[in-house]
């Protein structure tokens, strides 16, 4: 496809591949969005065009197309931009001769819909689990604790439902613009993860202030970040180890932020450069627009500081 075609004039990124999973053509929009040269990538395996989760999403979609011979839809995020993708087979003379991938940039409304889906799905799953747990309990104090947890999940579900109604009515606004206090989310994570650490024989301490500066973005991603950061410690620490999560507000050059400091002292963390955050944590930090730093302390413990910029008052 060296000569100009209609694909060259599309504003949406387009990728054409051959049956062996190699790149046959990318249009100018694809070159601009993914910072590649059409000549350089021609004939190259698809895997070299993408990184991390984007690579996984595209390769999975293409594999499904090649296996089933039918179009498939998928979603991905690259350089802070969300895309809705469609991969389809190319058929000539009743034989599949390749595939085409078309990417559409998501609008703010699309992003809000998918964010709300996540916000609705998680508390629904939690309420279902909690009701099952309540049905199995006989100790009144445990039932009371579970019911309180269920009330918190119900409040989150109600907030997301109200935001969905706002979106369907065509009105602007919503949690992503108004911001949210991360303190209640952090306290819930501390309570839940404290039980998991206790079961593993690992000492865990969480220090969360009553209120924190408002953060923008998706609250469910912050919750996922904190859970993932703590669960990676749970996976590597041994019984008798200590893990802590301390959260506080910080202002640097007039810019407010919230800092989450996770520390663990498992024997596995001793030595220089013995610890690095997994890709799942790094990805969530970047999706929230934050930054992080890992530091080896003098006592052998490892501290990771995650800083998220707060909304200005």
pLDDT in tens, 218-266: 788 899 899 999 999 988 888 888 999 999 998 876 778 899 999 998 6
Tokens of 111: 């992003």
Cα distance between residue 72 and residue 74, in whole Å: 7
Instruction: Give the range of the structural domain holding residue 29, as residue numbers without chain letter.
Output: 6-106
CA separation for the pair 55, 145 (Å, rounded): 43
Residue 90 near residue 98, CB atoms below 8 Å: yes
The residue from 175, 190, 220 where one domain ends is 175
64 plus 81 within the same structural domain: yes
CB atoms within 10 A of CB 14: 19
Judgement on whether residues 184 and 171 belong to the same structural domain of the protein: no
Two structure tokens written together for 310: 């707060």
Task: Tell whether the model's pLDDT for residue 177 goes beyond 50.
Answer: no
Taking the C-alpha atoms of residue 310 and residue 255, their distance in angstroms, rounded to an integer, is 8
Say whether pLDDT at 169 is over 50.
Answer: yes
* Final residue of a structural domain among 175, 191, 207: 175
171 compared with 256, residue with greater pLDDT? 256
Q: Is 308 exposed, middle or buried (0-12, 13-18, 19+ CB in 10 A)?
A: buried
Question: Residue 293 pLDDT more than 80?
Answer: yes
- CATH number for the domain including 79? 3.30.450.20
The pLDDT of residue 303 is above 60? yes
Length of the chain: 313
Write down which residue in 137, 160, 175 finishes a domain.
175
pLDDT of residue 305: 93
pLDDT for 3:
42
Residue 35, domain member (yes or no): yes
The SS3 call for residue 86 is strand
* 30 pLDDT higher than 80: yes
**Helix (H/G/I), strand (E/B), else coil: 139:** coil
Counting the structural domains of the chain, the total is: 3
Q: Are 189 and 261 in contact (CB under 8 A)?
A: no
Statement to judge: residues 72 and 136 lie in one domain: no
> Cβ(90)–Cβ(16) under 8 Å?
yes
1 lies in some domain: no
> Is the separation of the CB atoms in 18 and 40 below 8 Å?
no
The pairing of beta strand 203-207 with beta strand 242-252: parallel
Do 195 and 293 belong to one domain?
Answer: yes
Residues 127 and 159 in one domain: yes
Whether 205 and 128 map to the same domain: the answer is: no
């Amino acid at each position: 496809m060296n000569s100009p075609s209609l694909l060259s004039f599309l504003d949406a990124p387009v990728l054409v591949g051959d049956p062996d999973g190699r790149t046959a053509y990318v249009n100018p929009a694809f070159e601009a969005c993914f910072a590649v040269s059409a000549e350089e990538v021609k004939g190259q395996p698809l895997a070299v065009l993408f990184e991390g989760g984007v690579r996984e999403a595209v390769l999975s979609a293409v594999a499904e197309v090649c296996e089933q011979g039918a179009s498939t839809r998928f979603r991905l995020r690259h350089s802070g931009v969300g895309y809705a993708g469609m991969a389809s087979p190319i058929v000539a003379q009743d034989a599949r001769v390749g595939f085409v991938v078309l990417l559409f940039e998501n609008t703010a409304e699309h992003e809000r819909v998918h964010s709300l889906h996540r916000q609705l799905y998680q508390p629904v799953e939690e309420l279902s689990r909690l009701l099952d747990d309540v049905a199995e309990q006989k100790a009144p104090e445990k039932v009371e604790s579970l019911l309180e947890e269920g009330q918190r999940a119900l409040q989150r579900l109600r907030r997301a439902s109200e935001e969905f109604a706002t979106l369907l009515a065509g009105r602007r606004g919503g949690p992503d613009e108004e911001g949210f206090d991360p303190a209640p989310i952090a306290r819930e994570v501390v309570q839940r993860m404290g039980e998991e650490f206790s079961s593993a024989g690992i000492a865990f301490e969480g220090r969360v202030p009553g209120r924190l500066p408002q953060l923008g973005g998706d609250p469910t991603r912050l919750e996922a970040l904190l859970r993932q950061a703590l669960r990676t410690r749970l996976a590597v620490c041994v019984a008798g180890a200590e893990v802590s999560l301390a959260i506080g507000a910080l202002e640097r050059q007039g810019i407010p932020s919230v800092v989450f400091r996770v520390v663990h002292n498992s024997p596995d963390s001793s030595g220089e450069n013995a610890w690095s955050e997994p890709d799942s944590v790094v990805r969530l930090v970047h999706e929230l627009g934050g930054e992080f730093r890992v530091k080896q302390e003098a006592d052998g413990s490892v501290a990771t500081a995650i800083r998220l910029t707060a909304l200005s008052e």
